[in-house]
A and B are shown apart, each in its own frame.
Chain A
Amino acid sequence: MGVFVLCDQSLELLLTKTGHGLKFDRTALHLSHPAAFVFISGNKAEMEDFWAGALWALKIWLYLIVGLIMIPAMFGFSLGISETYMTILVKTLEWATLKIQKASSDEQKLKASASNGLIQREDGSMEKELEDLRRSCPKLPVGGNFTLSDCFYFTRKGIESIVEDEVTQRFSSEELVSWNLLTRNNNDFQYISLRLTLVYGLGIIIRYCILAPLRITLACIGLSWLVIGTSAVGLLPNWRIKFWLSEWVHVMCYRICARGLSATIRYHNRENKPRKGGICVANHTSPIDIVILCNDGCYAMVGQVHGGLMGVVQRAMVRSCPHVWFERAEMKDRHLVTKRLKDHVNDKTKLPILIFPEGTCVNNTSVMMFKKGSFEIGATIYPVAIKYDLKFGDAFWNSSKYSMVSYLLRMMTSWALVCNVWYLPAMHQQEGEDAVQFANRVKSAIAHQGGLVDLQWDGGLKRAKVKETFKEQEQKKYSNMVVGEDSGSNSD
């Protein structure tokens, strides 16, 4: 319909003559009116111009991307564009925070930060509290050291865990203390001032119309280059240069992908970087963790064989350097898994393995139980702590809420991705320490470094139920108090 805008006088004349308004018969025009010839050919030319213009714009766009983003990514230097973007972003967010705080302090509203907890709990142990309760109602019958007041303690503890517990809150996104101008994080924040709303609106335009297409283009380029590049390298025979090239291709593609997410990553303690023949262990927040870590070095991945696009990528990657992909059936056989990992680790030419022992994505406020499988292999463990900055974009993948594609789109329409990566010194299994204790030790180190809460609970609780044995333990504890170690009957 845009063609009509470009049309010349001859068409207007024709239209008024035939009185058809916008509707006209092309063939009739062609035959009957000489001006129509001019119009039709003019029409075609306009159309071609339009497409030519569009193509030209697309070419410029691609050249810009290649020049400003891909080439620096390939060779590892930076032009400073993303740095300027980040500085502007940080300043804007600080300004927004100030405005919001000013507005809310007028009304004395304090938002409790998530880490302080919702309710105040008693700090005493079970024994101490039960004693307190018993002392406060001496009139209650005591039969064998059991009184009715004991169940009050358990009732209160039960209600407390219903209001707030350590585990379920880890499987949903962390809450922001102050709004960061993204719609998705707008829980309780509301209209403050016109300027803030304008900035927010501008933010939406920038994020969805400028940044998102750019990032999607980059991601596609990065991914296709990964497949093509690794397949090409895979065709080479096993010379030294093959390893070097393969590493280069991998790192380059991950760098492009990282630019595709506007990721700003700060690496700390790089002297502790994982070396060949070891296992690199990190806390898991989202699939993007892989991109973050692989930006700074090459790792061998471990995982299940997928179909579809992921399968293509997996097969391509394995051509250039060895990764460890398992079939679904093989994953059930723990001995097989351990053996394959052991073989990989013992071969000193192969890259360090990257494993996420939590087994599932957690929301980056805590570290959950590490599965002991990777700690039984006996290799050197290189722990790595990853902590995302929530202000710029929430990286947690809530797999029950979002599919992978919608998650990636959300990532691409956030402000940016800012995270810190700490490489911790290598750890070995000590004498007399079993795999579980070793795993816990590594977990504590990672939690401590990243400022995360160290939990004993299993990340698998996201989907599975708690085992009955935990309840048994509490019962046993209480029974010992009430009845004592010897199971003599107390009544007479």
Chain B
Amino acid sequence: MGALQSAPGHQEYIDLAEKTGFSFEQIGVLHKRFKQLSHNQETLRREHFNEIPDLACNPIRAQIVEAFFDRRNIRQNGGGTVEEIGFEEFLVVMSHFRPPSLHMTNEQRENVRREKLRFLFNMHDTDNDGTITLEEYRHVVEELLSRSGTLEKETAKSIADAAMLEVASISMGHMEPDEFYEGITFEHFDKLLIEFEIESKMNIRFLNMDTTTLCK
């Protein structure tokens, strides 16, 4: 344990490191960031996120911010959202974007992959019914596309419909005329993205950091 240096709440850092898999340095950095964002308070609220200018430019900012307060992502039971999160929950959400460490069994890699996929799935599935319905898909497309100028609402809608149709045909094969496609379930989502190397594409890499974790 010689590498541990003066982390405030030394014992808490060990717990957090075990829980989330970040290294001590990374936890320290994120803790500083947390304090900066929350203006040195104990908890973060939505308005703190809205103060970040870079984030304000992002078209799906609202979904990203909601993801931090979503009970499913912070590993609490039940659905719905919370109003404020502490540093531990912040870290748990961030851990979805942790790069996989080099020594990982296939099973661990698979777990990491499913976690990341789950996070992205939850972002779209806002009513927590386990499927991304047409409505929810449409909502995402509308958020991404501009509402003014070249695009009208109808266009966004039709794009979403077309996409959904294709998904349905891929997942369900041939559908009867009066069969109703409920929506993309998590299994479908997983299958669709089977070739997508999400564990290498969806992560945040820290610079100059000692990335050794406890489980080496």
Residues of A within 8 A of B (CB): 104, 107-110, 112, 116-120, 133, 136-144, 146-152, 154-169, 172, 188-190, 400, 457, 461, 465-466, 470-476, 478-480, 482-483, 485-487, 489-491
Give B25-63 as 1s and 0s: 1 = Cβ < 8 Å from A's Cβ atoms. Answer: 000111001001101000000000111111111111101
Docked Cα-Cα span, A158 to B68, in Å, equals 12
In the assembled complex, B147 has its CB within 8 A of some CB on chain A: yes
Contacts of B33 in A (CB 8 A): 118, 163-164
Contacts of B63 in A (CB 8 A): 155
Contacts of A478 in B (CB 8 A): 59, 144-146
Contact status B36-A138, CB under 8 Å: no
Contact status B150-A158, CB under 8 Å: no
Q: In chain B, residues 189-216, which have Cβ atoms closer than 8 Å to a Cβ of chain A? A: 192-198, 201-202, 204-210
Residue of A whose beta carbon sits closest to that of B167: A141
Query: A479-B150, A490-B159 are known contacts; what are 10 more A-B pairs with Cβ within 8 Å?
Result: A136-B197, A139-B193, A148-B192, A163-B204, A190-B5, A478-B146, A479-B151, A482-B144, A483-B150, A490-B155
Contacts of A146 in B (CB 8 A): 141, 144, 159, 163
Docked Cα-Cα span, A190 to B4, in Å, equals 11
Q: Are A151 and B49 also in contact (CB < 8 A) when A112-B209, A146-B159 are?
A: no
Contact status A168-B36, CB under 8 Å: yes
Q: Are A155 and B155 also in contact (CB < 8 A) when A109-B3, A161-B54, A491-B161 are?
A: no
Docked Cα-Cα span, A487 to B193, in Å, equals 30
Contact status B201-A165, CB under 8 Å: no
Contact status A119-B204, CB under 8 Å: yes
Q: Are A139 and B195 also in contact (CB < 8 A) when A133-B201, A483-B151 are?
A: yes
Contact status B194-A471, CB under 8 Å: no
Residue of B whose beta carbon sits closest to that of A492: B162
A483 to chain B, nearest CB (A): 6
- Residue total for B at the interface (Cβ-Cβ under 8 A): 71
In the assembled complex, B105 has its CB within 8 A of some CB on chain A: no
B86 to chain A, nearest CB (A): 16
Contact status B6-A155, CB under 8 Å: no
Contact status A150-B148, CB under 8 Å: no
Contact status B30-A163, CB under 8 Å: yes
Docked Cα-Cα span, A41 to B165, in Å, equals 108
Docked Cα-Cα span, A118 to B185, in Å, equals 36
Docked Cα-Cα span, A489 to B160, in Å, equals 12
Contact status A120-B55, CB under 8 Å: no
Closest 5 CB pairs of A and B: A143-B163, A141-B166, A143-B162, A161-B54, A466-B56
Contacts of A166 in B (CB 8 A): 53-54
Contacts of A487 in B (CB 8 A): 150-152, 155
Docked Cα-Cα span, A472 to B164, in Å, equals 26
Contact status A470-B159, CB under 8 Å: no
Contact status B5-A155, CB under 8 Å: no
In the assembled complex, B140 has its CB within 8 A of some CB on chain A: yes
In the assembled complex, B158 has its CB within 8 A of some CB on chain A: yes
Contact status B161-A471, CB under 8 Å: no
Docked Cα-Cα span, A322 to B118, in Å, equals 67
Residue of A whose beta carbon sits closest to that of B116: A152
Give B121-152 as 1s and 0s: 1 = Cβ < 8 Å from A's Cβ atoms. Answer: 00110000000000000001100111111111
Contact status A465-B5, CB under 8 Å: no
In the assembled complex, B87 has its CB within 8 A of some CB on chain A: no
Q: Are A476 and B5 also in contact (CB < 8 A) when A139-B170, A140-B192, A155-B120 are?
A: no
Contact status A159-B28, CB under 8 Å: no
Contact status A491-B162, CB under 8 Å: yes
Contact status B52-A162, CB under 8 Å: yes
In the assembled complex, B82 has its CB within 8 A of some CB on chain A: no
Residue of B whose beta carbon sits closest to that of A117: B207
Contacts of A480 in B (CB 8 A): 150
In the assembled complex, B176 has its CB within 8 A of some CB on chain A: no
